């Protein structure tokens, strides 16, 4: 679109937090999006240069050694700073020390109050071996969830990662469309999830086979008079897309409806069973708490579906049904934008993963169709 080059830069300076698998994951995500990079570079490729710049800043009085509280070290002589800097990089004691830029100690922006520009890390680096100095970076808060087992991994459907949202059902075409819709900008903006999923729906609706499921705990048995014995018929997987082929749909004298739909039924009412036809509700049995136990109905295929108010999804009882788990997810946190000082424990959504047992159309077990 812009005829530019993509340069991937891995800021791999923190050997404690960064892992090789993160790099591999990012590259895999880009390939899933159909994106090829022109150049791949690493901050660790420039360790020698950054070290030289550190020495230069100290000699110019623009950077100083500090340990814990920074105020007391601000006025150290250049020679003392250079000496402590060398000690810092060669000893474990240096892990609690750092090199600070001499900006301001009372800047309204806390990030600019003599910000940390170098620190020690004795953990071996994945690419260069031992890493003495690491450029200070903001640690990804997503790691917090992974390390504490709050999610299944980096591909958890609740995660805002490419692998996560792909596992939740987002197509790469929809993601690329959404990204291009944003345009180029130098500003940081907060985007709403619903807009992304709306774009995704436009992509998947025309190409997704349609199947039915009914919650196991809330299913209601409906006995149908004037219905043929249990049988299978071939029907399109998608009414508007013949390329998806056909599926086998079961019909029979006993069907399952959802409890919520059954509670809305009225005696002798005519309703439509989706993709089958109309039926009259002849009997509704409820328990003392108002829960529907069973329904008696009379099939009326001659009825006009245009004249009914209620269109119900259903499943014929029979050997074709399969048990499935329906998964749904909430946001991991209760706050739209996490601030640097926020404690994630205070923002956790108590329950963010929901599993519902259900029975489903047996065609969901088939993988012999395009997706």
Q: Could you list the pLDDT tens digit for every one of the 371 residues in the chain?
A: 667 788 888 877 765 555 666 777 788 888 888 877 777 777 777 777 888 888 999 999 999 988 866 667 888 899 998 888 888 776 666 667 888 888 888 888 887 888 888 876 655 544 443 322 221 122 357 777 888 888 888 889 988 888 888 899 999 899 888 888 877 666 666 777 888 899 999 999 999 999 999 999 999 999 999 999 999 999 999 989 999 999 999 999 999 999 999 999 999 999 999 999 999 999 999 999 999 999 999 999 999 999 999 999 999 999 999 999 999 999 888 887 777 778 888 888 899 999 999 999 999 987 544 43
Q: Report the pLDDT value the prediction gives residue 69, as an integer from 0 to 100.
A: 64
Q: Report the pLDDT value the prediction gives residue 137, as an integer from 0 to 100.
A: 21
Q: Report the pLDDT value the prediction gives residue 87, as an integer from 0 to 100.
A: 80
Can you list the domains of the chain with their CATH numbers?
A: 21-31+41-134 (3.90.800.10), 210-371 (2.40.240.10)
Write out the two tokens for 361: 């159309």
- State the Rg of the chain over Cα: 31
Q: Report the pLDDT value the prediction gives residue 184, as an integer from 0 to 100.
A: 67
């Amino acid at each position: 679109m812009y005829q530019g080059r993509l340069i991937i830069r891995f800021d791999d300076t923190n050997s404690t937090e960064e892992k090789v698998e993160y790099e591999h994951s990012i590259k895999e995500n880009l390939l899933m999006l159909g994106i090829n990079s022109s150049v791949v570079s690493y901050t660790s490729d420039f360790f020698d240069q950054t070290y030289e710049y550190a020495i230069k800043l100290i000699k110019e009085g623009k950077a100083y050694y500090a340990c814990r509280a920074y105020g007391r070290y601000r006025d150290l002589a250049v020679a003392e700073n250079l000496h402590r800097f060398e000690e810092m990089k060669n000893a474990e004691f240096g892990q609690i020390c750092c090199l600070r830029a001499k900006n301001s100690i009372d800047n309204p922006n806390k990030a600019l109050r003599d910000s940390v520009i170098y620190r020690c890390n004795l953990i071996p680096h994945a690419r260069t071996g031992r890493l003495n100095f690491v450029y200070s970076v903001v640690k990804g808060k997503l790691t917090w969830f992974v390390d504490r087992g709050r999610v299944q991994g980096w591909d958890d459907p609740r995660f805002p990662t490419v692998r996560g949202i792909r596992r939740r059902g987002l197509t790469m075409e929809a993601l690329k469309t959404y990204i291009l819709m944003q345009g180029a900008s130098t500003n940081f903006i907060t985007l709403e999830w619903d807009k992304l999923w709306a774009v995704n729906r436009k992509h998947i609706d025309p190409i997704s086979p349609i199947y039915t499921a009914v919650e196991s705990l809330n299913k209601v048995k409906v006995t149908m008079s004037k219905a043929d014995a249990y049988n299978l018929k071939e029907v399109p997987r998608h009414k508007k897309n013949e390329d998806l082929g056909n599926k086998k749909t079961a019909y029979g004298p006993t069907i399952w409806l959802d409890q919520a739909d059954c509670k809305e039924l009225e005696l002798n009412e005519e309703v439509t069973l989706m993709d089958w036809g109309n039926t009259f509700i002849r009997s509704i049995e409820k328990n003392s708490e108002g829960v529907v136990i069973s329904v008696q109905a009379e099939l009326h295929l001659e009825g006009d579906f245009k004249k009914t108010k209620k269109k119900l999804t259903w499943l014929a009882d029979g050997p074709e049904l399969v048990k499935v788990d329906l998964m749904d997810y909430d946001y991991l946190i209760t706050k739209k934008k996490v601030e640097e000082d926020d404690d994630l424990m205070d923002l956790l959504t108590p329950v963010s993963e929901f599993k519902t047992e259900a029975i489903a159309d047996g065609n969901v077990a088939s993988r012999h169709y395009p997706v």
